A and B are shown apart, each in its own frame.
Chain A
């Protein structure tokens, strides 16, 4: 593990460029939001500061999730090349081995940018800070990261069924990042329901942001949902673990 990190730091210039690229990538999405707000004063019933707050929460969660489980994207390669056999033959968990195969430090760039946006939004969105809200603000990126990580692991597990499930998995990975950055009120009712109940993206940033802002949900979802992200995270992890186990069993059932 440490050798992986050392090898990335061996070329400081290249590492700095990678890091900058990640930060810029993140900032472009922010700029897109800000550009929209030069034309309209509210988006789905939320003003600029509120949307930036959601964006900050989502971006930080995405960065952390990417740091932790971004390596899951390599699963299709492991399956296709049969490299997964090697992991299965070691006395360690298969998923941890896969995730630890590489730690991409450049992903810290995203986390950094997310934290910066979040800090700015927290200071300017006019939040009435209470101890509970401080705790919520600090834990939400972590809880959100857990939810996203679970979604990604579950999505990438389709590779066990499809020869190259990378496209499906990528659309979920980046789709979930994109969709969590905006209030779900901007989406149509069908997509809203998906984000609330099927792929719980709404719990990454939208509901916690409502709690931070002290607003009732404009769509009429009950208030307790705003504080229930940790429970959703636990459920998502459970579901992802189940899907993963089924997938591994399935792998053990295919290919020669």
Chain B
């Protein structure tokens, strides 16, 4: 739950390990050499990522394209060797103990399949179970549960290449969970899915996480994913951790103001100096006002205040959205 960002004293890695953290990183960084052999330049993809994730947490890992999310995930899963810092996942060194770690984590890449293209889904699951040496009874129990919750019975015998994207993603998530991993890493799991499929996946993942034995680390550009699944958000940009906080705290910190949108009957300048209002803008030649107000007043009081001064045609309140929050963060 803790982060030692800038200024915070970084705790001793070993001590943090004992406190039952699934992911512990210390100053994790990664450079890439790009360009031709003659003009190599060093590009920093990730720098100084220090992060603890406790068992059972659900963490949304956000950031614009190219921010370093995938690079970080690959370092955590042992696919990439970090060029700086260290990481322990499930108490293991991801690079040196990659194969042992693979038995204890599940990974889903939204843009890449881990299923066997030509095999029916059920055979892919059987193969996956065999690779991870899942006892048959356990395999059946786990599979039955996923099949029921994700409604997959109808297409278990269909070859993977004939599945729709939504069906395939349900299969991918199931495969990643069959060996009862301690950590499930999802890299853009809902990318390209329709609304119903997204919703089904979110409901399922939130149920899986709610049981407390699977830790979720999720990257996405789909903010409703985060709102449904994660209580904690880590925002990364240009390789650095910008923010690491609870979702509610973030809302209060960066998007704490609600906005009253007022449409007066006749064009006019918006009233100044209303109690609780921190910013005022007028749009549409004075036919729409945006009154940003803080928590010292309420929407009802403010509407009453405004209504005493002008005739109102229409009024509504804009809640701070997670999108607005991200916009604020990315453009800082």
List the A side residues contacting B71 at CB < 8 Å: 256
- Are the CB atoms of B70 and A256 closer together than 8 Å? yes
- Residues of A with C-beta under 8 A to B118: 3, 7
Q: Which of B73-81, B141-149, B223-231, B302-310 contacts A (4 or more CB under 8 A)?
A: B73-81
A86 and B112 contacting across the interface, CB-CB below 8 Å: yes
| B contact residues around A253 at 8 Å (CB) | 80-81, 83
A252 and B95 in contact, given A3-B119, A91-B103 (Cβ under 8 angstroms): yes
Query: Is B131 a contact partner of A85 (Cβ separation < 8 A)?
Result: no
Expressed in whole angstroms, the Cα–Cα distance for A86 and B79 within the complex equals: 9
Number of chain B residues whose Cβ lies closer than 8 Å to a Cβ of chain A: 27
Task: Tell me whether chain B's interface is mostly helix, strand or loop, or mixed.
Answer: mixed
| B74 and A85 contacting across the interface, CB-CB below 8 Å | yes
Number of A-B contacts (CB under 8 A): 51
B99 touches A92 (CB 8 A): yes
Rounded to whole angstroms, the CA-CA distance of A5 and B53 in the bound complex is: 44
Q: Chain A: which residue is nearest B71 at the CB level?
A: A256
Residues of A within 8 A of B79 (CB): 85, 88-89, 252
- Residues in chain B near residue A91, CB distance under 8 A: 99-100, 102-103, 131-132
A175 within 8 A of B: no
Closest Cβ of chain A to B192, distance in Å, is 17
Q: Give the dominant DSSP class at A's interface.
A: loop
A89 to B113 alpha-carbon distance, docked (Å): 12
Q: Is A83 interfacial (CB-CB < 8 Å)? A: yes
Q: Is the CB of A92 within 8 A of B32?
A: no
Closest chain B CB from A139 CB (angstroms): 33
Inter-subunit contact A249/B114 (CB<8 Å)? no
Instruction: Choose among B32, B95, B102, B119 the residue that contacts A89 (Cβ–Cβ < 8 A).
Output: B102
Distance of B117 from chain A, by nearest CB (Å): 11
Centre residue among A88, A90, A91, A253 by max chain B CB count within 10 A? A91
Q: Smallest CB-CB separation from B99: which chain A residue?
A: A91
Inter-chain CA distance A149–B167, complex, in Å, is: 40
Q: How far does the alpha carbon of A93 sit from the alpha carbon of B132 in the complex, in Å?
A: 13
In the complex, whether B107 has a CB less than 8 A from a CB of chain A is yes
By CB atoms of chain A within 10 A, which of B79, B112, B114 has the most? Answer: B79
How far, in angstroms, from A127 to B118 measured CA to CA in the complex? 49
Give the Cβ gap from A245 to chain B, nearest Cβ, in Å. Answer: 12
Question: A249 CA to B78 CA in the complex, in Å?
Answer: 10
Residues of B within 8 A of A83 (CB): 112
B91-127 contacts to A, CB under 8 A, are 95, 98-100, 102-103, 107, 109, 112-114, 118-119, 123
With a CB–CB cut-off of 8 A, which chain A residues contact B81? 249, 252-253
Q: Which residue of B lies closest to A88 (CB)?
A: B79
Bound complex: CA A131 to CA B100 (Å): 47
> Is B58 part of the contact surface with A, judged by Cβ < 8 Å?
no
Structural contact, B112 and A88, CB atoms closer than 8 A: no
Give the distance to chain B from A129, nearest Cβ to Cβ, in Å. 46
B201 at the A/B interface (Cβ < 8 Å)?
A: no
User: 4 additional contacts, CB 8 Å, given A86-B112, A91-B102, A91-B103?
Assistant: A82-B112, A89-B114, A93-B99, A256-B71
Which A positions have Cβ atoms within 8 angstroms of B?
A: 3, 7, 82-83, 85-86, 88-93, 249, 252-254, 256
- Could you list which residues of chain B lie within 8 angstroms of chain A, going by C-beta atoms? 32, 45, 70-71, 74, 77-81, 83, 95, 98-100, 102-103, 107, 109, 112-114, 118-119, 123, 131-132
